[in-house]
Amino acid sequence: MINKIQTETMPHAGLSHAEALARLKLEGANELPITGKRNLFGIALEVVREPMFLLLVVAGGIYLLLGDVSDALMLLGFVCVVMSITIYQEYKTERVLEALRDLTSPRALVIRDGLEQRIAGREVVRGDVLILSEGDRISADAVLLSCNHFAADESLLTGESVAVRKLVQANADVMMPPGGDDLPFIYSGTLVVQGRGVARVLATGARSEIGKIGKALQGLNVETTPLQQEIRRLVRNLAILGVLLSVMLLVIYGITRGDWLHGLLSGITLAMSILPEEYPVVLTVFMAMGAWRIAKHRVLTRRVHTVEALGSATVLCVDKTGTLTLNRMTVQQLMVKGASFVTDNTHVPLPETFHELVEFCILASETSPFDAMEKAIHELGKNYLSDTEHLHSDWELAHAYSLSPELLALSHAWKAQDRDEYIIAAKGAPEAIADLCHFNQAQLDELAAQVNGLAAQGMRVLGVAKAHHRGSVWPDIQHDFNFEFIGLIGLADPVRSTVAPALKECHAAGIRVVMITGDYPATAAAIASQIGLPVGSGGIITGAELSKMDDVTLCEHVRNSNIFARMVPEQKLRLVNALKANGEVVAMTGDGVNDAPALKAAHIGIAMGGRGTDVAREAASLVLLDDDFASIVHAVRLGRGIFDNLRKAMAYIFAVHIPIVGLSLIPLLLGWPPVFAPVHIVFLEMIINPACSIAFEAEPAEHDVMRRPPRPPKEPLFGTRILLISLLQGVFVLLATLLVLGYALHNGATEETARALTFTTLVIGSLGLILVNRSWLRSILTIFDRRNPSFWWVNAGAFIFLIITLTVPALREVFHFSPITVKQFVLCAFVGLASVAWFEGYKFFGHNSCIDTIR
């Protein structure tokens, strides 16, 4: 974001871009050393420690002891290939996570080349001029050049939870340790909790106070989610089963055949076939890549496990301003003493009656506003009062009273050059301005009718008042001024065109949308009508009504109400807790400092990236980069698709391991020759790993992904139905391969020929499993139009490599194969594909059951 600085109100010069770049190269980035960051060597070291790798090395050693040097070398060659694939996947995941960490780092608003520029916090350098507002996280140690009611939370450095007041001091250019009020210094990592200020950076990175005391800023907290716990339990149970079966096979083989070395080799082969090393890898890859895909759609995932939770959201609580609307306020109507003026593009002169209203509304606003409403007010004055005496660029702001939860109004006190008194301008919620003006009941009733009339048209309404003050002592509160009511100003914020279709999509997906706004009920109702949001049988609940409800009553009311008006940020936390108490999975949007508790309490906190504060972003799980409601819905759609694909990948892994385990164990128990050696398992892993972590991850979402109810949050990844389907898929492939093996041996085929036929059937069956599991709703014939290049690369690569192993003599020898005829190959391919064809019938005849499986 770049805006031209108004030099008369922002005289602090910043660095030039060239100076900043030179200092960045000289002093380094504004960041502390990152702990836990994995480089390529570290990832390779982790892979070497994996049980699968160790088993392969042991198997290679046994081959050397048996004198099979070629087998040993080929096996170790395959080890290198598998290692390369694993390292690539891990490295790619690490880079994705690193990119996400970079995106989620705090950003800073600086002045460079006379322009306001929003840059990454790591790019801030010594000498930069920072512009700070309430809710910002300070990106570097700095000294304040100017400030207004500035206070910071320095608990990160001092442990003191009370915010400290800051003041400007002349000639303060050497940093002092934090602690205590009235210092001009602010510190990296601390939070602005009140006011605004301009500061010059004195120290960055390791030279800052947080660097000196050795407190590294931590990244994302690693949380154990139910899905991770489920995967860990599955891995543990399968690992135990694998060890027990491998030991049993070793003993049986050694006792019955007297060959303990080959028995150990068979035991290792069985252990490799059972070892579920793919599960945690797939979970990590899917979550990280899913977060990256969501980020490409302008939704940043700060906590990767949120991808898992998106598909479970049942209630979406959203702010009206900036999320449902464009946050581009324009003044629509002015009201003074019953008279009304509607602004439009016809440039009709503003009647004198309304000049004072616009004048004092501008005086009650910031001179260089960031707030959308105040920008609209300044634009109104520029359009209608530029040639009048009602704009006062030469007046000096002498005192200011901030907005507070107790009084939703603010006041600015101005010193005019030609007067010996101060002019007080106040604006805020009409009821707050009426309170300042001490309205009687009749005046309140008349005001309420006017406000409701404007609000019914979807406008946000502000009241404006004026007062005068003499003397040098300022009152403690705004009520001590003798205010005179001037009039009302109505502002409108257009609804985003994408909201209505996105809202329909939410309804179809079983997601309830709740609007939370600080506006009047009539304004909220008007917006709801425009976007098609039903109010609910409980009607609109206001902040005043909510404050009178106990928790039990609130839980009952939130079941039937979709609009909450005149809410203050602190009340959002009560709404979130009430919805959670009703069993809802809550996604909540927020942008301010006071929204942070609600964002943290929600299952999915969504901070505004464009207008949100750093505090809100750090408390949230997602950051909405474009502040658009439709982006939230798109993230939910992607999250559901990612979880669907994760479930398919996990089901495929489970299914494909059943024939691998069965062929490693059953032939030996039946007295047949062993089918598999470690080299065959490695070949199969070269199919399984890319299939489950690349092909399925890139698969487009099912067409009905947003036409089904949210997934229950406690629903396991492997439900009974999914386990049963995966088991049946694996068993059918196992039976097909055993049929081919038994038939070949029964008809006098050599051990090598039988192995080649069985292995071919298994590989084709595995590729068939990938194909039929691409969609659990649509048949093979209807999914070829779904774009997924990864799927075709994985399948084509596996098929070509299978052909090479069957036809190249050197590889046939390594795999212990004999040549097979084209007819035999076609027969094996037919049996392999037939073993998975039943699932196509299941999709067709058991369509509803298939849908339930996905859900």
Does residue 550 carry a pLDDT above 90? yes
Does residue 214 carry a pLDDT above 50? no
Look over the chain and give the mean of its residue pLDDT values, rounded to a whole number: 81
In DSSP terms, which residues pair with 147 in a beta bridge?
A: 197
| Structure-model confidence comparison of residues 809 and 158, the more confident one | 809
Task: Give the per-residue pLDDT at 598.
Answer: 80
The full DSSP string for 334-402 is EEETTEEEE--TT-PPPPGGGHHHHHHHHHTS-SS--SHHHHHHHHHHHHHSTTSTT--TT-EEEEEE-
Question: What tokens were used for 66?
Answer: 């048996």
| Structure-model confidence comparison of residues 277 and 760, the more confident one | 760
Candidate from 438-447, 629-638, 837-846 with smallest mean pLDDT: 837-846
Rg of the chain over CA atoms, in angstroms? 34
3-state DSSP: the chain helix, strand, coil percent, rounded to 5? 50, 15, 35
Check: CB of residue 765 under 8 Å from CB of residue 659: yes
- As a whole number, mean pLDDT of residues 113-131 equals 89
Specify burial of residue 736 (Cβ count, 10 A radius: 0-12, 13-18, 19+). Answer: buried
Task: Give the per-residue pLDDT at 156.
Answer: 63
Give the span between the Cα atoms of 652 and 688, in whole angstroms.
9
Distance from the Cα of residue 405 to its chain's centroid: 30
Task: Give the per-residue pLDDT at 851.
Answer: 44
Does residue 405 carry a pLDDT above 90? no
* Banded pLDDT at 320 (limits 50, 70, 90): confident
Does residue 590 carry a pLDDT above 80? no
* Banded pLDDT at 85 (limits 50, 70, 90): low
**CA atoms lying within 13 Å on the CB side of residue 409:** 27
Check: CB of residue 709 under 8 Å from CB of residue 852: no
Does residue 62 carry a pLDDT above 70? no
- As a whole number, mean pLDDT of residues 107-128 equals 88
Task: Give the per-residue pLDDT at 533.
Answer: 93
Task: Give the per-residue pLDDT at 668.
Answer: 79
Does residue 170 carry a pLDDT above 80? no
Candidate from 425-439, 531-545, 700-714 with smallest mean pLDDT: 700-714
- As a whole number, mean pLDDT of residues 641-660 equals 87
Give the span between the Cα atoms of 109 and 120, in whole angstroms.
9
- As a whole number, mean pLDDT of residues 557-575 equals 88
| Structure-model confidence comparison of residues 213 and 637, the more confident one | 637
| Structure-model confidence comparison of residues 538 and 625, the more confident one | 538
Task: Give the per-residue pLDDT at 553.
Answer: 94
Give the span between the Cα atoms of 586 and 571, in whole angstroms.
15
Task: Give the per-residue pLDDT at 764.
Answer: 94
Provide the 8-state DSSP code for 223. Answer: -
**CA atoms lying within 13 Å on the CB side of residue 187:** 26
Task: Give the per-residue pLDDT at 63.
Answer: 59
* Sequence letter at residue 652: Y
| Structure-model confidence comparison of residues 212 and 674, the more confident one | 674
- As a whole number, mean pLDDT of residues 89-109 equals 63
* Sequence letter at residue 226: P
* 45-49, 51-55, 78-82, 367-371, range with greatest mean pLDDT: 367-371
Task: Give the per-residue pLDDT at 736.
Answer: 95
| Structure-model confidence comparison of residues 211 and 767, the more confident one | 767
In DSSP terms, which residues pair with 396 in a beta bridge?
A: 415
Provide the 8-state DSSP code for 110. Answer: E
- As a whole number, mean pLDDT of residues 28-40 equals 66
The torsion region of residue 135 among left (phi > 0), alpha (psi -120 to 50) and beta comes to left
Check: CB of residue 216 under 8 Å from CB of residue 35: yes
Supply φ then ψ for residue 492, to 5 degrees.
Answer: -125, 150
Number of C-beta neighbours around residue 444 at 10 A: 14
Does residue 704 carry a pLDDT above 50? yes
- As a whole number, mean pLDDT of residues 826-836 equals 94
| Signed CA dihedral, 154, 159, 161, 163: sign only | negative
Does residue 834 carry a pLDDT above 90? yes
Task: Give the per-residue pLDDT at 527.
Answer: 87
Candidate from 84-98, 305-319, 437-451 with smallest mean pLDDT: 84-98
Q: 379 Cβ partners below 8 Å, 6+ apart?
A: 330, 331
Does residue 485 carry a pLDDT above 90? yes
* Banded pLDDT at 570 (limits 50, 70, 90): confident
Check: CB of residue 472 under 8 Å from CB of residue 314: no
* Banded pLDDT at 103 (limits 50, 70, 90): low
* Banded pLDDT at 555 (limits 50, 70, 90): very high
* Banded pLDDT at 1 (limits 50, 70, 90): very low
Helix axes 69-104, 40-48, angle to 10 degrees: 130
Task: Give the per-residue pLDDT at 459.
Answer: 84
| Structure-model confidence comparison of residues 74 and 665, the more confident one | 665
Check: CB of residue 541 under 8 Å from CB of residue 548: no
In DSSP terms, which residues pair with 515 in a beta bridge?
A: 318, 563
Does residue 424 carry a pLDDT above 70? yes
Does residue 225 carry a pLDDT above 60? no
- As a whole number, mean pLDDT of residues 288-293 equals 76
53-67 as b/e: b if 16+ CB within 10 A: bebbeebbebbeeee
Q: Please report, for residues 190, 207, 725, the alpha-carbon distance to residue 213 in angstroms, rounded to integers and kept in the order given.
A: 14, 10, 57
Does residue 158 carry a pLDDT above 70? no
Does residue 342 carry a pLDDT above 50? yes
Q: Is 601 helix (H, G, I), strand (E, B) or coil?
A: helix
The H or E element that residue 523 is part of is helix 521-531
Give the span between the Cα atoms of 29 and 413, in whole angstroms.
42
Place of tokens 């298994």: 762
| Structure-model confidence comparison of residues 691 and 390, the more confident one | 390
Number of C-beta neighbours around residue 173 at 10 A: 9
Nearest to 528 by CA among 515, 512, 546, 539: 515
Helices marked H in 149-277? 155-158, 209-212, 226-257, 260-274
Check: CB of residue 548 under 8 Å from CB of residue 498: no
Does residue 526 carry a pLDDT above 50? yes
* 21-35, 57-71, 155-169, 476-490, range with greatest mean pLDDT: 476-490
Does residue 556 carry a pLDDT above 80? yes
Candidate from 68-72, 430-434, 533-537 with smallest mean pLDDT: 68-72
Q: What is the largest CA-CA distance in the chain?
A: 116
* 370-374, 677-681, 767-771, range with greatest mean pLDDT: 767-771
Task: Give the per-residue pLDDT at 612.
Answer: 58
